[in-house]
Structure 1
Amino acid sequence: MELIINNLSKTYPNGVKALNGVSLTIPQGMFGLLGPNGAGKSTLMRTIATLQEADSGSIQLDGIDVLHDKQAVRERLGYLPQDFGLYPRINAETMLDHIAQMKGIGNKSERKEVVASLLNRVNLFKDRKKALGTYSGGMRQRFGIAQALVGNPSLIIVDEPTAGLDPSERNRFYNLLSEIGENTIVILSTHIVEDVNTLCSNMAIICTGEVLMQGTPKEGLALVNGKIYQKTIEKSELDHYRKDFHVISTKLISGKLSLRIESESDPGNGFEPAAADLEDVYFSFISKKVDPITI
């Protein structure tokens, strides 16, 4: 099973080109869609989820024409958007039962089984009687995954799911998504490199509505290995270094800037070779489109 996106484009009435000829092949498993805010990720996710029309192009899910057979897609889709509303006074059990009804599970005893199973799976069963408005950010996200899993979807989309979570909740969420991704296509849209590095066997980098790279994290690393150099400089020297080198990222440490550049050969000038990581891959591609210092 795979999701095939071919030459997808979308321009908004204000002239913003959100998607520009996007083509991706997404296999079963965890797929990371990595890009800065405003890159086109959410537009792409909403289009796949049949919530938004494309101007041109096509999407196929296991033989289903996503853009034209929306109902067939919705029956196989689980979706956790970046911002999803909850009824704060309703408890998790009641809300999930209602969602299961809407997904076509008419038998009451069957729904009860499904709801209990899903709440156990996301570790919320003991909190099933609590009002959703009392849930922490991590609990809300886990409930969001539970509602996305109703009906055993073959495609799950999660948009910026770990933003704002504390480290322990993020780890719980990582484990949950990893388990789900064993038998399902899961698209993880995020600007957090660590999410993709931890979870995803395949990935793509998107910026200004264009796919800049697709492959495995290992293949991405191979593109920058041996090309990353590092040096600590004064903040006032940054503009000078940006004129002479391909600066891909900076990090302020104790009042000084740790500068990372990409170079095909040893740049000298006090730079030392640095082990490449997935963040370097990300900034290497993004910096060709936008100023990495302002991301």
Structure 2
Amino acid sequence: MELSIKNLSKTYPNGVQALNNVSLTIPQGMFGLLGPNGAGKSTLMRTLATLQEADSGTVTLDGIDVLKDKQSVRERLGYLPQDFGLYPRINAETMLDHIAQMKGVGNKAERKELVASLLNRVNLYKHRKKGLGTYSGGMRQRFGIAQALVGNPSLIIVDEPTAGLDPSERNRFYNLLSELGENTIVILSTHIVEDVNTLCSNMAIICTGEVLMQGTPKEGLAQVNGKIYQKSIDKSELEHYREEYQVISTKLIAGKLSLRVESDTDPGNGFESTPADLEDVYFSFISKKVDPITI
């Protein structure tokens, strides 16, 4: 099973080019799509979910033309958008039953069994009679996954799923997504590097509508290993260092600015070589397209 995206482009009426010749090959498993806000991730996700049109390009899912045969795609799709509405007074069991009806599960006994199975899978069965408006952020996201799983989809798209979750809820969500990725294509769109590092065997980095990198996290790390250097400086010195070095990220620690730069050779001047991580990979690519201070 494979999702193939070739030369996909989209420009909005206001002139913003959200996607610029995007090409990606996404195999079965967890695929992380990393990029800052406004990178084009949500536009790509909505296009794959058949919710908006592309200007040009092709997308195929196991031989299905995603851009033309929308109904066939929707029958195989589970989608959890960044923001999704819930009827606050309806309980989870009733809402999921209604969604299953809309997905074509007509037999009442079959729906009851399906709803119970899905709620158990996302650890919400004991909360099935509670109104959705009483759910925590993590519970809402888990319900969102349950509704996305109705119909046994072969493609699941989740857009910024862990934003706003506390650490324990995030870990529960990680475990659930990892389980889903064993048998389906799961596309995780996020700007949180940790999400991709924890979950995904394949990834891509997108910025200003362009794919900057695609491969495994290990392949990404290989491109920056031995090139990352760190130094603590005063905040007032930042502009000087930005003029002299390729600064990829900064972090304020105890009043001092921890500076990370990328260099093919030892930059000297008090910089120390430091092991690269996936965040360095992300910032290395992104900083070549936009000002790293604005990321």
Equivalent residue runs for 1:26-105 within 5 Å: 26-105=26-105
Which residue of structure 2 aligns with residue 287 of structure 1?
A: 287
Are residues 1:165 and 2:165 paired?
yes
**Shift in Å at residue 97 of structure 1?**
0.1
Which residue of structure 1 aligns with residue 142 of structure 2?
A: 142
**Shift in Å at residue 254 of structure 1?**
0.9
Unaligned runs of 5+ in 1: none
Equivalent residue runs for 1:1-295 within 5 Å: 1-295=1-295
Deviations 1:112-163 (A, max 9, x none): 0000000000000000000000000000000000000000000000000000
Q: Give me the whole-angstrom Cα distance separating, in 2, the residues matched to 1:151 and 1:90.
A: 21
**Shift in Å at residue 29 of structure 1?**
0.1
Q: Give me the whole-angstrom Cα distance separating, in 2, the residues matched to 1:28 and 1:100.
A: 25
Q: Give me the whole-angstrom Cα distance separating, in 2, the residues matched to 1:136 and 1:73.
A: 31
**Shift in Å at residue 45 of structure 1?**
0.1
**Shift in Å at residue 110 of structure 1?**
0.2
Deviations 1:50-71 (A, max 9, x none): 0000000000000000000000
Deviations 1:146-192 (A, max 9, x none): 00000000000000000000000000000000000000000000000
**Shift in Å at residue 291 of structure 1?**
0.6
For 2:223, what is the secondary structure of its paired residue? helix
The one-letter amino acid of 2:263's match is: S
**Structural RMSD (CA):** 0.2
Deviations 1:192-215 (A, max 9, x none): 000000000000000000000000
**Shift in Å at residue 279 of structure 1?**
0.1
Q: Give me the whole-angstrom Cα distance separating, in 2, the residues matched to 1:16 and 1:117.
A: 43
Under a length normalisation based on structure 2, what TM-score does the superposition of the two structures give? 1.00
Q: Give me the whole-angstrom Cα distance separating, in 1, the residues matched to 2:229 and 2:293.
A: 17
The one-letter amino acid of 1:140's match is: R
The one-letter amino acid of 1:141's match is: Q
Unaligned runs of 5+ in 2: none
For 1:232, what is the secondary structure of its paired residue? strand
Deviation above 6 Å: which 4+ runs of structure 1? Answer: none
For 1:224, what is the secondary structure of its paired residue? coil
Q: Give me the whole-angstrom Cα distance separating, in 1, the residues matched to 2:208 and 2:187.
A: 19
The one-letter amino acid of 1:172's match is: R
Q: Give me the whole-angstrom Cα distance separating, in 2, the residues matched to 1:248 and 1:126.
A: 46
Under a length normalisation based on structure 1, what TM-score does the superposition of the two structures give? 1.00
Q: Give me the whole-angstrom Cα distance separating, in 2, the residues matched to 1:253 and 1:219.
A: 30
Q: Give me the whole-angstrom Cα distance separating, in 2, the residues matched to 1:294 and 1:19.
A: 20
Q: Give me the whole-angstrom Cα distance separating, in 1, the residues matched to 2:145 and 2:133.
A: 17
**Shift in Å at residue 90 of structure 1?**
0.1
State the percentage of identical aligned residues. 89
For 2:151, what is the secondary structure of its paired residue? coil
The one-letter amino acid of 1:208's match is: T
